[in-house]
Amino acid sequence: MPYEWKSTAPDDDSGAVSYRLTLWPYRSLPQRGFVWFISVTATLMALPLAAMLGTTIWWGLLPFIALTMLGIWIALQRSYRSGETREELLLSREKLEVRRRDPGRPDRIWQTNPYWVRVTLRSGPVEEYLTLTDGQREIELGAFLTPEERQSLRDELSRRLNETR
């Protein structure tokens, strides 16, 4: 699953455990796969060019194939950049903090007392929309997760919230 829980040892005084949850988008094409995909695509697109080598048609096809390869390259690089998004949830007895890190944007931070936090799943335009609310403000958590992962995360988060209260 594209999230990971880490816990700290309990304090000697209070016996409280704190948790850190890190969420990230799933990457279906690793960097090595990217190299293979671009290589195979460029080779397959060069086949029609090889048949036309030395003709004026070659010059007519070349710009379109080059633009297509450039478009694929840019789209995949943009996808990798969006995959750098991270959400971090810090949970202790005193506070709950959610920090969202998007590339090229300042961090967005939400802090509240975990005692008042409710974890809910809603159906609507997004299937199994996972939200945290403290009664004043509501935030979405794990928008890039699958519905099954959001359900699992809701159960784990609810259990850990109950442990820290």
Over its length of 165 residues, how does the chain's per-residue pLDDT go in tens digits?
Answer: 688 888 876 655 665 678 899 998 887 888 889 999 999 999 998 888 888 888 888 888 889 999 999 999 999 988 888 778 899 999 988 889 999 998 888 999 999 988 889 999 888 777 888 889 888 888 888 888 888 989 999 999 999 988 887
Residues in the chain: 165
DSSP assignment, residue 163? H
Angle at the Cα of 143 from the Cα atoms of 162 and 149, rounded to 5 degrees: 60
117 residue type, one letter: V
| Confidence (pTM) | 0.71
The encoded tokens of residue 115 equal 């005692």
What CATH number should be reported for the domain whose range is 3-24+87-164?
Answer: 2.30.29
Q: Are 138 and 116 in contact (CB under 8 A)?
A: no
What gap in Å lies between CA 149 and CA 102, rounded to an integer? 21
Domains in the chain: boundaries:
3-24+87-164, 31-82
Q: Are 18 and 7 in contact (CB under 8 A)?
A: yes
